[in-house]
Structure 1
Amino acid sequence: MGSVRLPKERIPIIIGKEGLTKKDLEHLGDVRILVDSVDGSVSIDQRGDALKANLAVNAIQAIARGFNPEIAKTLFDDYMQLIIIPLREFAKPGSRRIEEIKGRIIGRDGKTRKVIEDLTSTKISVYGDTVSIIGDYVSVQYSREAISMIIAGKKHRSVYQYLEKRVKEIKFRKIEETFG
């Protein structure tokens, strides 16, 4: 099916206590997961449904990008998705820009990330040189837009106002998505 490279510090999280996280992912995705703790690669062998196997790959990528396994497992719900935004695209090699962007997205004491998560009903992880978002299709789009605004240098207040104005719109679009 495929393989995913993991930062070595995330390998124990994929495996979980007594291998429970790995077993859960194998069961939910109907896959076999092989973890190479030396080079950090995770191989995923499809046993059944290809869609389920793809969702297992997404869940493993989410864990690799800093999400806890319980949040990553929500990707097995039909309406949930993972978006990974590479921050290297917004900074010159060797510059401190990536650290500045990460700091702005997280905010003082995690406030900015929390506000975006709360207003969009998403989960956000800032890990390595990436920002990752888990949520339903509609919410992820608004969360991504808010993060793009922060990356572009917009003031936090402007981002919060943008999201606060869109809360009703987000709810309406979710209902629209549900009932087609």
Structure 2
Amino acid sequence: MASSSTFDDDLPMEEGMPELIDDDDVPSVLPSLLEQNLDTAPKGAAKGDGFTLVKRKRKSHADIEMEDISTPDEGKTEETAGEESSSGPKSAKRSKGQKGEFRNVAVPKHRYTPLKENWASIFTPIVKNLGLQIRFNLKKRQVEIRNPEDREDTTDLQKAADFVRAFILGFEVNDAIALIRLDHLFLETFEIADVKHSLKGDHVSRAIGRIAGKDGRTKLVIENTTKTRIVVANTKIHVLGAYQNLRLARNAVCSLIMGANPSKVYGNLRNMASRGAERL
């Protein structure tokens, strides 16, 4: 059986920790992911009840126009030269999409009923706040999101697709909507076999049990401490949160898969959380 030395460097375990997690340290209900990450959001992130569209800053070139003294090629006419100057650099075209561009998100059978029940909560922010078009294709069983005909920017379109995809993977609507409101959240997916491919049969079930814990307390503690959300779907694990928080949650889950004691992982996360609070 492989040892857990691979993850000891990233997540060192402390000795002398209690074997069980105290019930007082486990919150009964977690706040929304949006509320937890508002304090760590960048200055440009949205705050309050209303939505504010955030545009990413790009490096601006120097505002110096150089006079072109080179002679144009003989094969180029004045019309083609004017078209090239008006079109601008090629990099600007690559950042834009096509008018009416769309995204498709496939919906498995077991998520069809939750999607139908929460359709109003998904439909409202995409249509009213982002100004996109959305529909559910009954024949193809997929959610189709499209940009308006007069818009080429695909930033909001990708945010809406990530929001719907997060809900389809099993996250709550209130947590998945943070992907629209905040720009520094990411979604990561990995499998238990990616961490330890030698696990088979009942050992995989035990690894899943260590991640969830009794009545889901271990997973709840990891989510509350790292300000992330975790969904365990069979052998796949989906984690939603900020980049640094994703790293802490991923290391904790990997240590549990490798056979670490949940109380030791919890104690290490608590120490890391206190260090982060001191830095802030």
TM-score if structure 1 supplies the norm length?
Answer: 0.80
Name the CA distance, whole Å, in 1 between partners of 2:201 and 2:237. Answer: 18
Deviations 1:127-146 (A, max 9, x none): 24322222222222211111
Name the CA distance, whole Å, in 1 between partners of 2:139 and 2:218. Answer: 36
Q: 1:101 aligns with which of 192, 204, 207?
A: 207
Displacement of 1:110 in angstroms is: 0.5
Displacement of 1:119 in angstroms is: 1.2
1:16/1:22 contact within 8 Å kept: no
SS in 1 for 2:275: helix
CA RMSD of aligned residues (A): 2.6
Q: Matches of residues 1-180 of structure 1 in structure 2 within 5 Å?
A: 1-17=102-118, 19-27=119-127, 28-47=129-148, 48=151, 49-76=153-180, 77-89=182-194, 90-91=196-197, 95-171=201-277, 175=280
2:103/2:157 contact within 8 Å kept: no
Question: Structure 1: which 5+ runs fail to align?
Answer: 176-180
Displacement of 1:46 in angstroms is: 2.9
Name the CA distance, whole Å, in 1 between partners of 2:207 and 2:107. Answer: 23
Name the CA distance, whole Å, in 1 between partners of 2:256 and 2:215. Answer: 16
Name the CA distance, whole Å, in 2 between partners of 1:25 and 1:14. Answer: 15
Displacement of 1:79 in angstroms is: 2.5
Deviations 1:135-162 (A, max 9, x none): 2222222111111111222221221122
Name the CA distance, whole Å, in 2 between partners of 1:98 and 1:62. Answer: 24
**Structure having the larger proportion of residues in strand:** 1
In the alignment of these two chains, the number of paired residues is 173
Q: Identity over the aligned pairs, expressed in percent?
A: 23
Displacement of 1:57 in angstroms is: 1.5
**Structure having the larger proportion of residues in helix:** 1
Name the CA distance, whole Å, in 2 between partners of 1:168 and 1:134. Answer: 21
SS in 1 for 2:177: helix
1:8/1:37 contact within 8 Å kept: no
1:14/1:21 contact within 8 Å kept: no
Question: Structure 2: which 5+ runs fail to align?
Answer: 1-101
